[in-house]
Structure formats: C-alpha cells, structure tokens
A and B are shown apart, each in its own frame.
Chain A
Amino acid sequence: GESVGLHLPTLSVQEGDNSIINCAYSNSASDYFIWYKQESGKGPQFIIDIRSNMDKRQGQRVTVLLNKTVKHLSLQIAATQPGDSAVYFCAENIQWGGKLIFGQGTELSVKP
C-alpha cells in the first residue's frame, strides 16, 4: 500500500515556532491535494487543499506549497500551538476515481 511501517516520522517543535511538514506524492496525474490533521481516536480533519494549477495557498496560520516538478507538497503551520499536536497526512486525489491516496503521515509534537 501507499503507507508503510508502524513508526511515523516525528517532528517536534517548540510552541510558537513555525512547523514545516513535507510529503511526496505518488502520481503525476493527481490534480487535487489535501492536508488532513488526525488526533488520537478521531477521523481525519480537513486543514487545507490545493489544486494542481496553483503552487501556493494560504489559510489561517497554514500554508500549502505544491511543487509538481518533484511531486512534493509541504504544509507550513505558523506559530505552532499545543493544540496542533496530531498526525498530519497529505492526500492526493485522482479525478477519475475520486479516491484519496494518503501519504505515510507525520506526527507533530508541540512542546509548551
């Protein structure tokens, strides 16, 4: 499958710092990308999305960057807060099937 292993990559940051979470996607035909946040015991929660005709999109405290040349996505979180601690997944959407393909996930830990 697209996600492997039991040990997620971990990013540990200090409260107030900026966080950058990276993701490599698999299919050059993907045209829609979404970042999800998943807290323990909950389903994935939508954070921000971007279409393939854009290379940057900003939301509240979050920015997504898309580099189609190297098939890379990043999520930037400004002024990270303890409530941002969670596992973050990128997902790509191939229009024909409508399914989401999820990346491995990164566990973000914010130290107060």
Chain B
Amino acid sequence: GVTQSPTHLIKTRGQQVTLRCSSQSGHNTVSWYQQALGQGPQFIFQYYREEENGRGNFPPRFSGLQFPNDSSELNVNALELDDSALYLCASSPTRGEGGYTFGSGTRLTVV
C-alpha cells in the first residue's frame, strides 16, 4: 500500500516541514492532497515520472519531489496556521487510470 511519515507533526508558524510518502509498488503517479477538518481532500499537485503534472490552487511555498524509488515528498515553507490539516498522499498506476490508493496521512498542526 501507500505509507506516509510521520503520522503526526507539530510545527511553529514560519517553519518549514517535509512530509514523506512511499507509493505502492509499480505506481508511477503520486498526488498530494490537503484535507481540512470536516472537508473533502483538496488537490495540491501531482507528479508523474518525477515531474510535476498538474497543480491545484496552492501557493508556491507548497512544493514536491518524486524519486525513482517510488517515494515522494511534500515540502511546505513559511508555515501558516491555516496549513494545519491532514496531508494525504495517493498513488496510481498511470495518471489516475486504475484509481488512486491513499495513505493514512500526516496530521500537521501549526501553532
């Protein structure tokens, strides 16, 4: 499946954070979502074969990387209180075909 680390994280406003994801084996597409409390996940961006392949309505301080070994990162700079949310990683075989498998997420709290 898809595994994410850490499961929980507390950061101070203005700090930077890196969240990690290990995709399901054989999946070459990874997407990141932000889920605020009581809402559906919101698309941040997608990576396909290590290149960004679509971006949602998030500022440039949200950035990502995808590595050849089925792992990826979400980086957020200059954290704001509103960045507090559950961050979900999802992988799929090829650009969404065959569905997406989600990890359990990282709960980020910004204080």
Mark A residues whose CB is within 8 Å of B: 1-8, 32, 34, 36, 41-46, 49, 89, 91, 93, 95, 97-105
Q: How many A-B residue pairs have CB under 8 A?
A: 77
Do the beta carbons of B100 and A3 come within 8 Å of each other?
A: no
Instruction: Please give the number of chain B residues whose Cβ is less than 8 angstroms from any Cβ of chain A in the complex.
Output: 29
In the bound complex, CA of A8 to CA of B39 (Å): 8
Most central of A41, A43, A101 by chain B CB within 10 Å: A43
Do the beta carbons of B38 and A43 come within 8 Å of each other?
A: no
In the bound complex, CA of A101 to CA of B43 (Å): 7
Q: Mark B25-38, 1 if CB is under 8 A from A, else 0.
A: 00001010100011
Do the beta carbons of B42 and A32 come within 8 Å of each other?
A: no
Residue in B closest to A41 when the chains form the complex, CB atoms = B104
- Chain B neighbourhood of A43, CB < 8 A: 2, 88, 90, 102-105
Residue in B closest to A107 when the chains form the complex, CB atoms = B38
Q: A43-B102, A43-B105, A45-B102 are in contact. Are A99 and B41 (CB under 8 A)?
A: no
B101 at the interface (CB under 8 A from A): yes
- Chain A neighbourhood of B6, CB < 8 A: none
18 A–B contacts from the bound complex (CB under 8 Å): A2-B40, A3-B39, A3-B42, A5-B38, A5-B39, A6-B39, A34-B100, A43-B88, A43-B105, A46-B101, A93-B96, A95-B96, A97-B46, A98-B31, A98-B96, A99-B54, A100-B33, A100-B90
* Nearest Cβ on chain B to A107's Cβ, whole angstroms: 10
In the bound complex, CA of A8 to CA of B35 (Å): 14
